[in-house]
Structure 1
Amino acid sequence: MREKALLKNLKNTFILLLLISSCTIIAQKKDKKSKENKTEQAKDSTSNKKGKKYNDLLKDGTLKKGLFNIIQVKTDLYLEINDSLFQREFLVVNKISNVPMQVNEAGLNKGMNYENKIITFHKDLVAKKVWVKSSVPSVSSPKDDAITASVNNNFSESIIEVFDIETKNNDSTSIVIKVNKIFDGKQKSFNDVLSNIGFGGSVKSDLSYIEFAKAFPKNIVVKSQLTTSVSEGGGPALSVTIGVTSNIVLLDKVPMQPRFSDNRIGYFTEKHWYFNDQQHAMRERELITRWRLEPKTEDIEKYRKGELVEPKKPIVYYIDPSTPKQWRSYIIAGVHDWQVAFEKAGFKNAVIAKEPTEADTDFDIDDVRYSVITYVASQKSNAMGPAVVDPRSGEIIESDIIWWHNVMTSLQSWMRIQTGVIDPKARGNKFSDEHMGEAIRFVSSHEVGHTFGLKHNMGSSFAYDVESLRSKDFTAKMGGTAPSIMDYARYNYIAQPEDHVEAITPKIGEYDKYAIEWGYRWYGDEKEEHTALNGLITKHQDDPIYFYGEQQDEIVDPRSQSEDLGNDAMKASEYGLKNLKRVVSHILEWTYDKDESYYETGKLYIGTIGQWQLYNRHVLSNLGGIYLNTTVHGDNKASYVAVPAAIQKRAVAYLLKNSITIPEWLFFNPILDKTNPLKDSPLGPYEYTPYTLARELQYSTLYSMLSDDRLLRITENELFQRNEAKENVFTVTQLFKTLSQNIFAPTIQNKSLTIMERMTQKNYVDVLIVSTNKLFEKTDGKKIIEIQENLNIPHLCNQLDESRMGRNINQSSLKRVTEVTSDKKGELRQILQLLRTKKNIGNQETQNHYFDLIQRIERALNTTL
């Protein structure tokens, strides 16, 4: 036992000696390594003190001081990042600077912002690298809550790029990285232009380069020319070079105090998730997008007392120097028209528009320090007003209104067709600069409204009674065609020549002032803000002038439509048709231009047909319509209200009279002796023959009238109104009975059918067959006729992302097992029975027609009964 104990002690002693020896060796190695590190650090320090590498960069290149110092050595670009900027948040903003013709024709133009992202820089001295991380800053939690650790782990940053540290500055307070790869197209981490514009593929680095870079106190600007190859239809590859500008912008350490959205007022929003320890579930809220407008510290008391004060920093828009001189004052006036709205929010001189001067030595359209109304040379007829937003708070940092040159063609079309009969200035092939300028002013105001964060308010025009729009006094008092310029309320097509109405142009209205006050009035704290904003909405919630109606992908609520006027679509459209008849009778006169072709005549002609179809669609939306009210607890409002049965019956009557019965004055008139309706296409003017166009548009109306979703809404309304009086409920059965009795009236009366009557019956039957087959994913080899909704009637802002287009209401799942199938097949069966009894009546063309329809229906129903 003693021997074992002794051996054990010796063994332990030996192990101890080994450990001591090892520790000594390790310590010696560490001491040696420490001395070596100190020597290296001393060398490195000496090197930086001498500044060989850093000073060599400065000696060989050019230095531009700013947020990041930019050092350019020949074609190499370096950024010098100060230690204070590491882990600060930056916003990368990428824009189009120039495009070749092929890209221009595709609708991509200068000034468009195509990609933004939040990034942070992280210095790693061990690896001698700088890591770049990106995040989506849409999640928040209180700093000291336990859940915050989980939030940080579950919503962490992602590494998107890495740079080698090339050198340090002379006092080691900043490091230098080479950044060519992120700006010349080799890497997509900071700028993935091709994917974002839908081209795909990769940049040809040997045909791409960095043009120049500029540095400013809070941002840097880098411009590049990036080339790729595009091949279409198996043809030869086409080289395409796109100029891009990348801004890297330093964001404030403390974001702007966010303002939470309310669905009863229309602002663009940024979604945000909130976590805290006291919750039973995460809360999702939306932050409205808005500029940071605040009173100066010395003016806060004046502001609280209701005095108008100037903001710390006004909203300034610059006019693109490329803008033709005759339009600049009108665009500026359209911006300044918003002053009155911001005064409601307590600010004077809050919005400024101006042309850049010699004092703006650094002015650059693509620099995010400047909000610019960019004028684009393009065949496109449009305008739009997007904004660059800090996603942490919803703060608008900069806005770019894109103004396409050909927007004037849209304005001229609207004015000629909608107001030509009441305004002699709106009749010729070319307007005076003054008349066109006022139209430009209207569009300027509309687009600038978007850059304040305002969404379209498609329900605004419903506030005015139709008859009021015929009143000279009322329109003069209200100053426009709707309470909001953010509606798609166009010119006053309701007023008749004998009304002598003069105020016929959309203008900033009461809703706009109210919306700006709600979004921009400054409050000292969040509790005060919440109380005041709720009170403002409650104060106005029962007044239709302040109603907000969301833009809808499919029109469910007929109050919120594009390009309609007044609170009664049938009455408004009847007045519109009266004026449209007058326009058609003057088309040859208004478009006369000696020795010129009939191109302008054909264009104006198809525009009138488009306006007719627009009226049809305004009326059609009432059929199966539901008033969608945005409600809150305590307001005693119904969220869903079926359009009254009487209105739906009037809508059907209007369509039978003015749409399903093709108006001869519109489709068969003396204009056709000179030209067909003309629509521009990439291959030149495209002609529509009147019979073909009438047939397609009639089919489109019928197909929309009998769409599955519409019939399902009618059925659901019937279900929920089952306890109401029969006359107050509109049903699918009533709709089919009304349509068939009208469409087949000549057949019931044993008459021979005209070409147009046969056309209508064929369209009706085909719509029933095709839409029924579609329920079972069969179309019998047929393609449903699709025709552009409004022909040549143009739209604005059609590239603007509304972020949420209407309410998502599921009324159409499992349609094949709904009443729709039975209703449509039942209607086909009723028609079949009628045709079998009348198949030998009428002239030869009529009998041939009946034989054709009978065969079609029998095949569709798979029956010979």
Structure 2
Amino acid sequence: MREKAFLYNLKAILVFLFFLLGPISGYSQKKNKKKENTTEIAKDTTSSKKGKKYNDLVKKGTVKKGLFNIIQVKTDVYFEIQDSLFEREFLVVNKLSQVPFQVNDAGLNKGMNYENKVISFYKDTIARKVWVRSYLPKVSSPKEDAITASVKDNFSESIIEVFDIETKNNDSTSIVIKVNKIFDGKQKSFNDVLSNISFGGSVKSDLSYIESLKAFPKNVVIKSQLTTSISEGGPSLSVTLGVTSNIVLLDKVPMKPRFSDNRIGYFTEKHWYFADAQQAMAEKELITRWRLEPKKEEEERYLKGELVEPKKPIVYYIDPSTPKQWRKYIIEGVRDWQLAFEKAGFKNAIIAKEPTEADVDFDVDDVRYSVITYAASQKSNAMGPSVVDPRSGEIIEADIIWWHNVMTSLQSWMRIQTGPIDPKARGNTFSDEHMGEAIRFVSSHEVGHTFGLKHNMGASFAYDVESLRSKEFTSKMGGTAPSIMDYARYNYVAQPEDNVTAITPKIGDYDKYAIEWGYRWYGNDDNEQLKLNVLIASHENDPIYFYGEQQDGSNLIDPRSQSEDLGNDAVKASGYGLKNLKSVVNNILNWTYEKDKSYYETAKLYIGTIGQWQLYNRHVMNNIGGIYLNVTVHGDNKQSYVPVPALMQKRAADYLVKNVITIPQWLFFNPILDKTNPLKDSPIGPYEYTPYTLSRELQYSILYDLFSDDRLLRMTENELYQRNKTTEKVFTVNELFSKMHQKVFAPTILNKSLSILERMTQKNYVDVLIISTNKLFEKTDAKKTIDIQETLQMPHLCSLDDAHMMRNINQSSLKRVTEVTSDKKGELNKVLQLLKTKKSTGDQSTQNHYRDLIQRIEKALNNTTF
């Protein structure tokens, strides 16, 4: 038995070596060729054995012709792939097409693109397999350079899937593979939906199936129903997701890329370039943009400066599920960009329309169609992502997701920001026309993203605050900022007596300039980069064309580039905003009145007003320790880092003293409280905030951020650098502490009894210093940190730029040995000495308060070790 087994194994090894190494030298070329032929799948005997002969498959099933012919035999699905398509590059695009309640509630909706990857198919006739490989197309090198061989080896493809070759067509120009496993949830190679939407787990294949298939000349569309189970501390729930996978054929020759410039805001794809002539690898970023080109016969006219129609315009379709009364406004918001593209030399470049009977193949999930998808959801948002060819940055298709409840945000903004100057913006329900104009604004903003434009949070800084009160200026400029890509909201600066009517954000001069820079066609002109640089240079000294990158809101450095601010002076703009807020508060009960209705709308408008007050506080606070971060290049004679002027920082501190250290009674303690508390919706239902609790938490939040380590370190850096460089006055950390100390402890210094709010402010001030000082030494009271959260968050749109924040500046190393430690502990000691001196002054509540603070400070200082 052992001898037979040995001989059998030996024979198997010899056969394996024969196939691996090929025939030995004694075999003729003819025999070698004959051997190769025996491995081809064309032999009918092989096909017959498997029962998958091509004609039988076609006869038994249905065939849909397209990029891949799709053959369906009952529940089995086959791709027929032409030989010409092997080793071509495809983009797999996966989207959600249906979601159940649990997923909708988590913020995931129809139309969301959650996974893209570049793949290629490789035919292996020896093994009778088709291998699928994927790679990241982010590396390039010249074909003729020696380093290219190394690039290929060091940035190679990875195998992600394999299929058996089932048969081939009759003229041997295509092969057939069975593809069920990649679309019914058995394999994650083409569609890993659960990981990409952060659900984890696995698909239950017995509860999943392929729903429908479509084939078109350059793509195939496969829809599946994939089921999993989720549990959130309770019983397991079955969740079925409708997913759509597109496989799109990419052009053999990618679009000519355009490299980014940090002085103008485009989304980008990073790319590495290797070449023999280099001394270091070049890392560049390709902007994302549509391939907009003149027709061949009109290239000469275009280059002469005449407006021409593009070879292929950008077309957006309106989701048929969009309520009819809003469709025209969404379409108008798209068409408003026509003028911007005319600056780039193209007319009729943008088309927005509803699908008609002529669009027989229309499908919102088909990547041939850019769709503004309407999502029935409680989420109040909209966003405009795109599907991009990562090889070149070419936008292939755009997906704007429009959540139904975005109108709640629009109404809140308009009532609070413009109610005092616009009677149309006061009621619980707006007219369709008034809401429609707001929808048009959001449509334009989101469509701007699908052109590749990032947020320009610095645009609003271009306008002088007083000009926003000018009817003539606002009518001329047509909006609240020179870019609709800013989060410049409605005109909260204008006062009722100003009679300003142009109060809505519009597409502005920066937007037209950005489109011209990104979309002007230069053909094969070798001087393209030079011409683009000249275009930027001709605009860079005009503040209207300033680009300010979106920043991390938790550590904002440049106060020019803030969200939802207006004008070039946050103190002045916020002061005007407060005047209007007082008017809103005085009218909330009247504006929200509905006979026999609850005070729900009243409470919601009230908390929105408080949120606007907090927004103004932050706009102002970010000037303290702020630095203007300029994008500079050699030869422009500009400073890269410019501290906010000391006078502005002092004015900002004075604003906070007046409006935060002193809690505004008109806002937190008024007749509205006789009817309702401020109310915010939450997953567990409406959540009410009492005025003492809400004012305490919001004040604490400002104080904590005001004395953040990074802010104080920037002020210290400024003091060190500026005093060695110039005699210009600087605003120091000691001045900030002194100004706040004098206000917070003013009644204590005067031996007065403290009110509840005054005691609250002192506790907040002291606690902020204790907690932040302890954090420097990684030590906290009772081994627990206080989690500082935004109690109040105003609604935002399209959080697209999270991965594209402003450049990082390292100020975090070894904070415990910086001046911040000494400054904070010094202020705590100063407060301690004052309280010990005054501990017997004031009424009993005041004295109890002082003793409490003394014990807290002493414990904190004694427990802080080096």
Q: TM-score range by the shorter chain?
A: over 0.9
The alignment status of 1:593 with 2:597, answered yes or no, reads: no
Q: How far is the alpha carbon of 1:836 from its aligned partner?
A: 0.7
Give secondary structure in 1 for the equivalent of 2:538. helix
Cα deviation code 1:275-313 (max 9, x no counterpart): 000000000000000000000011111111111000000
Give secondary structure in 1 for the equivalent of 2:365. coil
CA distance, structure 2, for counterparts of residue 46 and residue 702 of structure 1: 82
CA shift in 2, pair 1:704/1:863, >3 Å: closer
Q: 2:462 — aligned with what?
A: 463
Give secondary structure in 2 for the equivalent of 1:412. helix
CA shift in 2, pair 1:278/1:727, >3 Å: closer
The alignment status of 1:642 with 2:643, answered yes or no, reads: yes
Q: 2:131 — aligned with what?
A: 131
CA shift in 2, pair 1:766/1:792, >3 Å: closer
CA distance, structure 2, for counterparts of residue 449 and residue 152 of structure 1: 37
Q: 1:486 — aligned with what?
A: 485
Pairing 1:348-367 to 2, within 5 Å after superposition: 348-367=347-366
Q: 2:710 — aligned with what?
A: 709
Q: Is the 8 A contact 2:40 2:126 kept in 1?
A: no
Q: How far is the alpha carbon of 1:199 from its aligned partner?
A: 0.5
CA distance, structure 1, for counterparts of residue 697 and residue 39 of structure 2: 83
CA shift in 2, pair 1:647/1:30, >3 Å: closer
Cα deviation code 1:386-445 (max 9, x no counterpart): 000000000000000000000000000000000000000000000000000000000000
Give secondary structure in 1 for the equivalent of 2:397. strand
Pairing 1:437-476 to 2, within 5 Å after superposition: 437-476=436-475
CA distance, structure 2, for counterparts of residue 485 and residue 802 of structure 1: 19
Letter in 2 for 1:116: N
Q: Is the 8 A contact 1:455 1:802 kept in 2?
A: no
CA distance, structure 2, for counterparts of residue 25 and residue 501 of structure 1: 92
The alignment status of 1:577 with 2:578, answered yes or no, reads: yes
The alignment status of 1:809 with 2:845, answered yes or no, reads: no
CA distance, structure 2, for counterparts of residue 175 and residue 729 of structure 1: 75
Q: 2:786 — aligned with what?
A: 784
Q: 2:178 — aligned with what?
A: 178
CA distance, structure 2, for counterparts of residue 599 and residue 680 of structure 1: 10
CA distance, structure 2, for counterparts of residue 250 and residue 25 of structure 1: 42
Which deviates more from structure 2 when the two are superposed, residues 723-732 or residues 686-695?
Answer: 723-732
Letter in 1 for 2:572: K
CA shift in 2, pair 1:532/1:686, >3 Å: same
Unaligned runs of 5+ residues in structure 1 are: 1-23
Q: How far is the alpha carbon of 1:723 from its aligned partner?
A: 3.3
Letter in 2 for 1:653: D
Q: How far is the alpha carbon of 1:787 from its aligned partner?
A: 3.3
Letter in 1 for 2:267: F
Q: 1:624 — aligned with what?
A: 625
Q: 1:659 — aligned with what?
A: 660
Aligned length: 839
TM-score (norm 2): 0.95
The alignment status of 1:294 with 2:296, answered yes or no, reads: no
Pairing 1:405-424 to 2, within 5 Å after superposition: 405-424=404-423
Cα deviation code 1:606-637 (max 9, x no counterpart): 00000000000000000000000000000000
Q: Report which of the two structures shows the higher radius of gyration computed on alpha carbons.
A: 1
Q: Is the 8 A contact 2:482 2:510 kept in 1?
A: yes
Letter in 1 for 2:162: V
CA distance, structure 2, for counterparts of residue 41 and residue 655 of structure 1: 80
Q: How far is the alpha carbon of 1:46 from its aligned partner?
A: 8.2
Q: 1:70 — aligned with what?
A: 70
Q: How far is the alpha carbon of 1:487 from its aligned partner?
A: 0.0
CA shift in 2, pair 1:53/1:752, >3 Å: same
CA distance, structure 1, for counterparts of residue 33 and residue 270 of structure 2: 52
Q: How far is the alpha carbon of 1:27 from its aligned partner?
A: 4.3
Cα deviation code 1:808-849 (max 9, x no counterpart): 110121111111111000000011111111111111111101
The sequence identity of aligned pairs, in percent, is 80
Q: 1:322 — aligned with what?
A: 321
CA shift in 2, pair 1:40/1:595, >3 Å: closer
Cα deviation code 1:442-466 (max 9, x no counterpart): 0000000000000000000000000
Q: 1:507 — aligned with what?
A: 506
Q: Is the 8 A contact 1:419 1:493 kept in 2?
A: yes
CA shift in 2, pair 1:587/1:714, >3 Å: same
CA distance, structure 2, for counterparts of residue 339 and residue 431 of structure 1: 28
CA distance, structure 1, for counterparts of residue 733 and residue 42 of structure 2: 89
Q: 2:218 — aligned with what?
A: 218
Q: Is the 8 A contact 2:701 2:790 kept in 1?
A: no
CA shift in 2, pair 1:25/1:321, >3 Å: closer
Cα deviation code 1:719-752 (max 9, x no counterpart): 1011367771111111111111111011111111
CA distance, structure 1, for counterparts of residue 403 and residue 198 of structure 2: 21
Q: Is the 8 A contact 1:623 1:710 kept in 2?
A: yes
Q: Is the 8 A contact 1:696 1:785 kept in 2?
A: no
Unaligned runs of 5+ residues in structure 2 are: 1-22
Q: 2:753 — aligned with what?
A: 752
Q: How far is the alpha carbon of 1:45 from its aligned partner?
A: 5.9
CA distance, structure 2, for counterparts of residue 288 and residue 732 of structure 1: 41
Q: 1:265 — aligned with what?
A: 264
Pairing 1:107-122 to 2, within 5 Å after superposition: 107-122=107-122
The alignment status of 1:393 with 2:392, answered yes or no, reads: yes
Q: 1:549 — aligned with what?
A: 548
Q: How far is the alpha carbon of 1:28 from its aligned partner?
A: 7.2
Q: How far is the alpha carbon of 1:784 from its aligned partner?
A: 2.3
Q: Is the 8 A contact 2:370 2:399 kept in 1?
A: yes
CA distance, structure 2, for counterparts of residue 303 and residue 49 of structure 1: 60
Q: How far is the alpha carbon of 1:236 from its aligned partner?
A: 1.4
CA shift in 2, pair 1:33/1:85, >3 Å: closer
CA distance, structure 2, for counterparts of residue 123 and residue 337 of structure 1: 49
Cα deviation code 1:785-825 (max 9, x no counterpart): 53326x25210012x24532111110121111111111000
Q: 2:152 — aligned with what?
A: 152
Letter in 1 for 2:192: D
Which deviates more from structure 2 when the two are superposed, residues 715-724 or residues 820-829?
Answer: 715-724
CA distance, structure 2, for counterparts of residue 281 and residue 390 of structure 1: 26
Give secondary structure in 2 for the equivalent of 1:803. helix
CA shift in 2, pair 1:617/1:28, >3 Å: closer
Cα deviation code 1:582-629 (max 9, x no counterpart): 000000000000000000000000000000000000000000000000
CA distance, structure 2, for counterparts of residue 860 and residue 83 of structure 1: 75
CA shift in 2, pair 1:726/1:825, >3 Å: farther
Cα deviation code 1:235-268 (max 9, x no counterpart): 2111100000000000000000000000000000
CA shift in 2, pair 1:28/1:412, >3 Å: closer
CA distance, structure 1, for counterparts of residue 417 and residue 35 of structure 2: 86
CA distance, structure 2, for counterparts of residue 775 and residue 456 of structure 1: 34
The alignment status of 1:775 with 2:776, answered yes or no, reads: yes
Letter in 2 for 1:360: D
Give secondary structure in 2 for the equivalent of 1:633. coil
Q: How far is the alpha carbon of 1:783 from its aligned partner?
A: 3.6
Q: Is the 8 A contact 2:42 2:168 kept in 1?
A: no
CA distance, structure 2, for counterparts of residue 133 and residue 40 of structure 1: 23
TM-score (norm 1): 0.95
CA shift in 2, pair 1:158/1:500, >3 Å: same
CA shift in 2, pair 1:843/1:785, >3 Å: farther
Cα deviation code 1:515-566 (max 9, x no counterpart): 0000000002252211111001000110000000000002100000000000
CA distance, structure 1, for counterparts of residue 568 and residue 447 of structure 2: 27
Q: 2:90 — aligned with what?
A: 90
Q: Is the 8 A contact 1:69 1:81 kept in 2?
A: yes
Letter in 1 for 2:312: K
CA distance, structure 2, for counterparts of residue 33 and residue 452 of structure 1: 56
Q: 2:613 — aligned with what?
A: 612
Q: How big is the alpha-carbon RMSD for the aligned residues of Structure 1 and Structure 2? A: 1.9
Letter in 2 for 1:261: S
CA distance, structure 2, for counterparts of residue 724 and residue 137 of structure 1: 47
CA shift in 2, pair 1:161/1:830, >3 Å: same
Q: 2:765 — aligned with what?
A: 764
Give secondary structure in 1 for the equivalent of 2:333. helix
Q: 2:568 — aligned with what?
A: 567
